[in-house]
Structure 1
Amino acid sequence: MQWFTLLSTLLGTTIGVASTLIAERFRSRDARRQHRETARVEIYLGFLQAMNESAEALRSLASRVDRLTPEELEESNRQVFQGSRLYVMRERVILFAPNSVAAAMNEVFNSLLTMREATAQRRGRHSPEFLARIGEYADAVQILRVEMRRDIGAAPLQDDIDWAPRG
């Protein structure tokens, strides 16, 4: 009788410890997954902020290209991306995002580069060349948002609303 009590106690303890360890493993895995998702959202928000700051700086620069000396224009063009930390945020997206998001982000980045090239060529804010670059940027941003939302599991945006930043 004493052996049966001892064995049942040991078996109960073993089952209790094992179930606690298994539950903790699942909790830990969920916590790591949640941490990765939260970090990715923060990276996406950082890139979007840097992207918007860069685009706004380019629009501002394009509105005054005719009033700048060649040296001032060159320096202003160089500062556009540095002030927004766009390069840093781009690298973070490349490191942590899935390929679909990184590829869409790269299209946005390239569209910003073409906007910067237009300002370097003294294309003003309302010139056809600069407006075309803004349109390309807006289209790329729209695709990026769709990919980011898909990656974080958010519902798609409504198709009947133009969410792209134009003009």
Structure 2
Amino acid sequence: MEWIPLVGAICGAVIALAGALAAEVQHNRAERRRHREAERVGYCLDFVVALDSAHSALRAVAQSDEDASRRLPSANRAVHEANVFAERERLLVAGTLEVVKAGEFAYRRLIGVRNVIRSGATPSSRDYHRAYHEFAEAIWQFRMAVRTDLDHARLEPVDLERRSWSERENCRGCLDLAGG
């Protein structure tokens, strides 16, 4: 009869240990999930900042007095020094399908801006504005893909008091080019 308390104590200890172990496993899973989400936010943010930095540097090249023969290396350097290629690689390797697709689309639109600047476009030219507004739209679509991936609500332009993500309709340069 002295077994019953001993067996009861052992069973109680096993149940308590199993409960503690299950709680620890659940905690570790939640911690890993938070860590993966923080990494996703990090590489997406790094990519969008690299795109924006590259665009700013490209705009500076387009505004410079540099002759056309010097624009090609300057425009290439602007994209390279903004770290776009490294951040794109991180995104391609670690991103979800929809984020990678949106990121690649934004990357190609940035390269479109680079290419028109390499060919001599200035910030007041039609070619620059066409490429810029396509880039602006694409970078916003990337942001919205990331928000969706993180289970955040998508924003609409009106949420930020805009008419569109491309901002074409409010662009002073586009209005001047159109004669309005």
- The count of residues paired between Structure 1 and Structure 2 equals 165
Q: Report the residue type matching 2:141 in the other structure.
A: I
2:6 is equivalent to residue 6 of structure 1? yes
Q: Structure 2 matches for 1:92-131, cutoff 5 A?
A: 92-131=90-129
d(CA) in 2 for partners of 1:14, 1:146:
48
Once the two structures are TM-superposed, the CA of residue 140 in structure 1 deviates from its matched residue by: 0.7
**Which one scores higher on RCO, CA 8 angstroms, separation ≥ 6?**
1
Secondary structure class of the residue paired with 1:153:
coil
d(CA) in 2 for partners of 1:145, 1:37:
15
Once the two structures are TM-superposed, the CA of residue 157 in structure 1 deviates from its matched residue by: 1.6
Counterpart of 1:26? 26
Structure 2 residues without counterparts, runs of 5 or longer: 172-180
* RMSD across aligned positions (CA): 1.5
Where does structure 1 differ by over 4 angstroms across 4 or more consecutive aligned residues? none
Once the two structures are TM-superposed, the CA of residue 153 in structure 1 deviates from its matched residue by: 1.7
d(CA) in 2 for partners of 1:134, 1:148:
21
User: Structure 1 residues 102-111 or 75-84, which shifts more?
Assistant: 75-84
2:143 corresponds, among 142, 145, 159, to 145
TM-score, structure 2 normalization: 0.86
TM-score, structure 1 normalization: 0.92
Counterpart of 2:86? 88
Q: Report the residue type matching 2:52 in the other structure.
A: N
Once the two structures are TM-superposed, the CA of residue 36 in structure 1 deviates from its matched residue by: 0.3
Identity %: 25
d(CA) in 2 for partners of 1:59, 1:76:
11
Structure 1 residues without counterparts, runs of 5 or longer: none
Contact 2:48 2:139 in 1 (8 A): no
